[in-house]
Amino acid sequence: MGPQMSPSGPAPLTYAGAGVNRGAVATALSNLLRSVRYHPPSTRGRPVAAPGHYAGLLRLGRETLALTTDGVGTKLVLAQQLDRWEEMGEDVVAVNVNDLLSVGAFPAAFLDYIACRNPQPRVFAALGRGIDRGLRLSQCHLAGGETAVVPDLVHFLDLSGTALGFYPDGHRPVTGRDIRVGDTLIGLPSSGFHANGYTLVRRLLETSGISLAERISGERLPLGRLLLTPTRIYAPPVEALIRKRLTVGLAHISGGGFRNLVRLHPRVEFCLDAMPPPQGVFQWVAALSELPPGELYQTFNMGIGFVVVVRSRRESQALEVLADHGEAKARVIGQVKRGRGVTIPHEGIRYQSY
C-alpha cells in the first residue's frame, strides 16, 4: 500500500474539499424547485406526495407509476483510466432500479443517456453488455435511450439513465410513513463503494500516490478492479419482501450515505446500534483518509447498500425470505426509536437531516 496521510500533516480531505459540497447542492436544488411552478391539469395524472424521496410517484387512473433518474458519476473517470466499461453499464441500471425499489416499485423499463466526445463502437459494446446484465438482474425492459455527441461539453463520456416502476397485484407505494417506534432495521451487504464517493476516493489516490495496480490487504483483485465493482442490484430479495408485505420502509444507501434514512420518516430516530465494522475497501479508505466517522458514513455505504424496515415481530420471517433469495448475509443493524434523525452510537454519530 502507498503512503498514508500523517496525523501531523494537513487536515483530512473531505468530500466537500474534494469538490462535492452537499450544502451547495441542496441550496441549488432548492432554488431550482422554487422556480418550477407549473401544475398540469388532473387529466394528466395526479402526483403522489413523497417529497424528498428516491422516486417521483404519479397516479394515472387506477395505476401508480414510479420514475427515477440517476447517473454513474465520477466512477467513469476510473473506468476510462482502466479502459473497462461493462461495469459502468451495470452500474447505471443498478443506481436507478435500486431507487425504484426504495419506494416499493418493481422495475419495468429503463432508458439510457450517453453523452460523449466520440462514440467508440468498442466502448459502446462493453456498456451494452453491462446494461444487459443489469436488466437481467432486475427483469427490466430497455425501452430506448439517447446518444449525444457533444465534444464541446464532454471530455470523454458521461452516462446516466431513467427508470420506470410499477405496483403489481394491488400493492401500494412504500414510503416509510408507516414506520413506528420498535421497528427493526435490516441491512443488505454492498459490493463496495457502489457509485458514490468516487470524487473523494480519486482525490485520495492522487494525494497519496497509490497505484490502481496495488492490492489492499485481504483482497484478491488489484485496487482499480476492486473500485470498479458494480453496484449490487437488490431487486429479487426486496421484491420478495414487498410481495409478502413484510416491509414498511426501504432505503438505498447511495449519495448521502446513512443520512438517506431520514428520507423515510422525519419524526423517528433510526438507531444503527448493530452496524458491522468496516471491512475491505471501507477499512482501507478509513485508514487512508483519516476522516472522522461522521464524514465516512455520510459519504460511503460502509458495507451496507440497502436497508429494509420491518415490524420487530416479523424480523425472523424477513431474514428467512431474504436468505431464500440470495441474501444470507443480511443482518439486523438497528432499530427505530423515539427521537429524530439517524444515530450510530458506537461511532458517536448523529445526523438530524438528509
Q: What is the pLDDT of residues 246-302, one digit of tens each?
A: 999 999 999 999 999 999 999 999 999 999 999 999 999 999 999 999 999 999 999
pLDDT cut 90: percent of the chain above it: 82
Question: φ, ψ for residue 63 (rounded to 5)?
Answer: -105, 145
Strands of the 331-337 sheet, one edge to the other: 247-252, 304-310, 184-189, 331-337, 269-271, 341-344, 349-351
* pLDDT at residue number 20: 63
* One-letter identity of residue 150: V
Q: For residue 17, name the pLDDT band (cuts at 50, 70, 90).
A: low
Distance, C-alpha 223 to centroid of its chain? 21
Cell numbers for 208? 497519496
> How far, in Å, are 272, 275, 289, 299 from residue 346 at the CA level?
9, 9, 20, 18
* pLDDT tens per residue across span 226-248: 999 999 999 999 999 999 999 99
Q: What are the strands of the beta sheet with 157-166, ordered from one edge?
A: 46-48, 56-60, 63-71, 157-166, 106-116, 141-149
The answer to whether 333 touches 305, Cβ cutoff 8 Å, is: no
Q: Quick one: pLDDT at residue 23?
A: 73
Please give the radius of gyration of the chain, using alpha carbons only, rounded to the nearest integer: 20
Compute how many other C-beta atoms are within 10 angstroms of the C-beta atom of residue 227: 22
Q: Judge residue 43's burial from the number of C-beta atoms within 10 Å of its C-beta, 0-12 exposed, 13-18 middle, 19 or more buried.
A: exposed
Fold entry, domain 184-351: Phosphoribosyl-aminoimidazole Synthetase; Chain A, domain 2 (3.90.650)
Which is nearest to 298 in space by CA: 352, 248, 244? 352
| Intervals of CATH 3.30.1330.10 along the chain | 56-166
The count of C-alpha atoms lying within 13 angstroms of the C-alpha of 91, restricted to the half-sphere facing its C-beta, is 29
- What pLDDT, in 10s, does the model give residues 137-161? 999 999 999 999 999 999 999 999 9
Instruction: State the pLDDT at residue 279.
Output: 93
Domain with CATH 3.90.650.10 in the chain: 184-351
**Residue 44: which pLDDT band, with cuts at 50, 70 and 90?**
confident
> How far is Cα 218 from Cα 229, in angstroms, rounded to an integer?
16
* Residue-by-residue DSSP string for 200-238: HHHHHHHHHT--TT---TT-SS-HHHHHTPPPPP-HHHH
Q: Topology of 56-166 in CATH?
A: 60s Ribosomal Protein L30; Chain: A; (3.30.1330)
CA 10 to chain centroid, in Å, comes to 30
What integer is the mean pLDDT of 114-125? 97
**Buried-exposed string 131-170: b where 16+ CB fall within 10 A, e elsewhere:** bebbbebbebebeeeeeeeeeeeeeebbbbbbbbbebeee
Query: What global pTM score does this model have?
Result: 0.90
